[in-house]
Structure 1
Amino acid sequence: MNSRQRTSRYGFGLHFAVGATSVILLFAAILRGFPPVIEQSLGAALLVVLILHARMGFALGRLQNELDILRGLTKRALPVAGEEVIGAMKITPDARLSHDDMARLNRVSEAVESGRVDLYLQPIVSLPQRKPRFYEAFSRLRDADGRILKPADYLEAAERANNIGVIDNMILMRCIQALRDEKKRSPRLAVFCNLSPATIYDTNFFNQLTDYLELNSDLATNLIFEFTYPAIQTMHPKLTENLNAIAARGFEFSIDHVHSLDLDWEDLRGRNFSFAKAPASLLLAASRGDEASVARLRAFRKRLAEVGVDLIAEKIEFENHMPEILSLGIDYGQGNLFGAARRSDFYLGADGAGAAGAGADKAAAA
């Protein structure tokens, strides 16, 4: 039974109890000859109690559903013969896994399960104002000694152990939970969060993630999911249905790793892709080409504006590139020129005050 069915049955049972109890009390009051004012007082008191009970019941039901989904998202795999369980990851003995590999994976799993996943943010600024409007989220793991575990330190070992997907999934959930905490301090914070191909193609996890987001649709104004174009291009129809379900809850999407300006932007916008990221080098190369290249770039910008997709020029590193980028009429920019990825409190401050300009709606951002 899913969360909607549970809630529906609970609501039906509650309404039935309200009606039956009200009829019994009023009938008893009439038989006893109570004055009308007492009957009205009893009815009002009963109504208040039932409203409070309903609110508490629905809140507890929602919490229970969320806990059930979180257990499914983070549950540990049961050990089977010939396998060693390291945290939430199963490591099958293999000649390709050295002792160093095992140690690295152990540090990763222990960091995730101990909650040592730090939220890092990089600003995405409006142009030409250079005011932070959004942030892209990154996760950084810390070991027991406080040292940062860089992805380069464990990615090869995780690939050899076939655990990239498990690690990505665990980090994603920690990232979303960290965003929930930040939202309490910075209600207008809007963050781009990457969904890796490994997460997208983990059907069971992605189905449960969809359920989790359904229960947390209040995050829709704060969370923009980012996908690579190759992942979207090769996505199975069933996963497309999941994306549609997430979009129906109000979540917007962004696409990066754009390698060409000639994509089906109308189709992408119809699937709730509201942002597109293109490397500054791709845009600058087009603007410096022959007249045909410049014309294609202008047509590209016009087409995006017509379908309602905002363009983000990413990987902007040098100030001397800005005059050309601004001349292209780009909506937003991202890169080390505007700020490197740093711990969230660097940009938001201890009290979240630094996010005053972030997360404003797109109309205000324009």
Structure 2
Amino acid sequence: MVPVLGRYAGLLTVGLLGLVVFGPLAVFLPLWSALTLGVLAAGVAGLALTRIAVLKARCEKLSGEVDLLSRRLLKVETGAATAAAQPQPEAAEAALRAQIEELTVEFGLLSGIVRDLTGVVTAQDAEIARLNARPVAAPDLRSEIRAEIRAELAAPAPEPILSSRPQAAAPEAPPVVATRPVLPASPTMRPIPPLPLPPRPIPPRPAREPEEEAEIIRAFEGEGLEIHLQPVVTLPQRKVVAYEALARLRVGGVSTEPETFLPVLERHGRTTELDRRMLQRAAIVTRHLARRGSETMLTYGLSPLSLFEPGLMRELARMAADDPALAGLVIGLPQASWRGLDAGQRSLLAPLRGRIGFSLDRPDDLRFDAAELAALGIGQVKVPAEMLLRPASERDRLADIAVEDTAPALARAGIRLVATEIGDEADVPDLIDLDVPFAQGSAFATPRPVRAEVLATPSDAPVPPPEPEPERRSFRSVLRRAV
């Protein structure tokens, strides 16, 4: 009510004054009152017309501004539609990056193929050299020199070069082991002292028999491949915290080590298939450990040739992405492979980082850069105990830090050191003095095969509930129950 009165207060005031003033005048002076009312009505009409004109001008101005704003809005919408239709620089950059990564992977694959071809050609050359290597008796240099001199003296004069008759081919000289100086064609010459013969080279080790290689291949293609586990324990408690998956091949009923069958598989290009089958079984064992509620990790050392097989690494990345239980799986690569990673191999290992673990094994020296290893995602370094306890004296194999500082330096970067190949119990105290936290070897336990029922368990089986821990009772309650 107050806003209405405040808005029309002037009109109400004028109306009340007109009623008070013109009411008596209309009674006593009707003519003057009518004239006054007409003048007032004309004035009010003029004011109304003026206000209407002002409002009309304002409306036209507002209409022009609205028209201008609508045209600007239409222009902005047209520009936005055009910009949306054009490719965004971020999308173009992402597409270009994806193409570059794909080309990088292809280049890595091609480089791997070239390296494989080089290895195959080198192996073939070595095989040819082994086949051609035969012990040859050294000929008598004196009799050979005398025979050559007699042949040169008895030979007829050479025919002219322009002769149309074909020249007879000279007989090939027998192979000469030792080198000798060039002799002059003169019949008078001094006797040549006997030249020392070079030492006879040691013949290379003969290659494996084809029948034995065929038997190894048949065992590999059949059911001869086995997975063995060797525990990794803590020092000095000797608590099992991890396992290493080791490949064994049963040939003729005898379990053979990788040193026996791995060169044959490499020669026949079957190492990638070996790693694929071993990774499948290692994944089954890892899932079995996860179902039991164990936090024990499982390590498997890949062959360096598997880095040049993108299909295997992509398959492993898909397995790790689909199954979170594979977080307990750790793949190991030699130190030389970690140092020689190219852009394609790094892109293949990038999807695996954070889903499975990485390990450095089979080292060539103790030059470990903890920061660089941590940047690569390596969480474990396995070193033979022989290198830690009795380091080599060669300059290129010495580390930048002392051997006793190796384990603490790696631990500060979040990398654990594992001493392997421990066969003597007397080496354990020395490793404890070096602050080595983990150890592995026959001194603690030998590799044992995985039970068949574990490998036969389906991977998609439901996870059973964890077994309840036994209730701990005090000794007093036990005595009370006994009484």
Return the TM-score normalized by structure 1. Answer: 0.59
Q: What are the superposed Cα offsets for residues 185-208 of structure 1, whole Å, 9 maximum, x if unpaired? A: 464332111121122221222222
Deviation at 1:280, TM superposition (A): 1.0
Letter in 1 for 2:338: I
State yes or no: 1:127 paired with 2:235.
Answer: yes
- Match in the other structure for 1:214: 321
Distance in 1 separating the partners of 2:400 and 2:371: 21
**Alpha-carbon separation, structure 2, partners of 1:263 and 1:178:** 31
Matches within 5 A, 1:7-86: none
- Tell me, what secondary structure is at the counterpart of 1:170? helix
Indicate conservation of the 8 Å contact 1:286/1:294, yes or no.
Answer: no
Instruction: After TM superposition, list the pairs within 5 Å mapping 1:168-207 onto structure 2.
Output: 168-185=275-292, 187-207=294-314
Q: Distance in 2 between matches of 1:219 and 1:322?
A: 32
Q: Cα gap change, 1:320/1:214 in structure 2, threshold over 3 Å: closer, same or farther?
A: same
Per the TM alignment, residue 298 of structure 1 is displaced from its structure 2 partner at its CA by: 3.6
Matched, 1:339 2:445: yes
Amino acid of the structure 2 residue aligned with 1:309: I
Alpha-carbon contact 1:316-1:335 (below 8 Å) kept: yes
Give the counterpart letter for 2:358 in structure 1: F
Q: Deviations over 1:6-29 (max 9, x none)?
A: xxxxxxxxxxxxxxxxxxxxxxxx
Q: Give the distance between the partners of 2:347 and 2:405, measured in 1 at CA.
A: 31
Counterpart for residue 118 of structure 1: 226
Match of 1:310 among 416, 422, 441: 416
Find 2:367's aligned residue among 228, 237, 262.
262
Paired residue for 1:277?
382
- Counterpart amino acid of residue 361 in structure 2: D
- Corresponding residue for residue 102 of structure 1: 214
For the residues of structure 1 that align with 2:344 and 2:312, how far apart are their CA atoms? 13
SS in 2 for 1:319: coil
Shift of 1:333: 0.7
Structure 1 residues 345 and 208, CA, compared in 2 at 3 Å: closer, same or farther? closer
Residue identity (%):
24
Evaluate the alpha carbon distance shift between residue 317 and residue 181 of structure 1 in structure 2; reply closer, same or farther with a 3 A threshold.
same
Map 1:312-327 → 2, pairs under 5 A: 312-327=418-433
Higher relative contact order (Cα pairs below 8 Å, separated by 6+ residues): 1
Check whether the contact 1:312–1:331 (CA below 8 A) recurs between aligned residues. Answer: yes
8 Å contact from structure 2 (residues 299, 330) kept in 1: yes
Partner of 1:158: 265
User: What TM-score do the two structures reach when normalised by structure 2?
Assistant: 0.45
CA offset at residue 176 of structure 1? 2.3
Shift of 1:126: 0.5
Structure 2 CA distance for partners of 1:269 and 1:109, relative to 1, 3 Å: same
Query: How far apart, in 2, do the equivalents of 1:321 and 1:158 lie?
Result: 34
Distance 1:243 1:259, change over 3 A: same
Quickly say closer, same or farther: Cα 1:306–1:166, change in 2 above 3 A. same
TM-superposed CA distance for 1:308, in Å, is 1.4
Following superposition, the deviation at residue 300 of structure 1 comes to: 2.6
- Larger fraction in strand: 1
Distance in 2, Cα, partners of 1:243 & 1:295 = 29
Separation in 2, partners of 1:246, 1:236 = 16
Among candidates 330, 342, 345, match of residue 239 of structure 1: 345
Is the Cα contact below 8 Å between 1:104 and 1:153 reproduced in 2? no
User: Could you say which structure has the larger radius of gyration?
Assistant: 2
Which is further off, 309-318 or 258-267? 258-267
Residues paired across the two proteins, number: 246
Q: Distance in 1 between matches of 2:429 and 2:392?
A: 12
Preserved CA contact (<8 Å) 1:168 1:198: no
The CA distance in 2 between the partners of 1:345 and 1:99, in whole Å, is 31
Provide the rounded CA distance (Å) in 2 between the counterparts of 1:200 and 1:146: 32
**Does the 8 Å contact 2:363/2:383 carry over to 1?**
yes
Partner secondary structure for residue 248 of structure 1: coil
- What is the identity, as a one-letter code, of the residue corresponding to 2:232? I
- The unaligned stretches of length 5 or more in structure 1 are 1-93, 357-366
Give me the whole-angstrom Cα distance separating, in 2, the residues matched to 1:135 and 1:314: 12
The Cα shift of 1:152 comes to 4.7
Match of 1:247, as an amino acid?
R
Residue by residue over 1:238-285, the C-alpha shift from the partner in whole angstroms, topping out at 9 and shown as x without a partner, is 221222211132x22111122333222211112221111111111112
Q: Distance in 2 between matches of 1:324 and 1:181?
A: 35
Amino acid in the other structure paired with 1:140: R
Comparing 157-166 with 127-136, greater Cα deviation is found at 157-166
Alpha-carbon displacement from aligned partner over 1:121-172 (angstroms, at most 9, x marks no partner)? 11111011111111111133447x8653544553343233232333332333
- C-alpha change, 1:103 and 1:314, in structure 2 (3 Å) is closer
Equivalent position of 1:139 in the other structure: 247
Secondary structure of 2:422 counterpart: coil
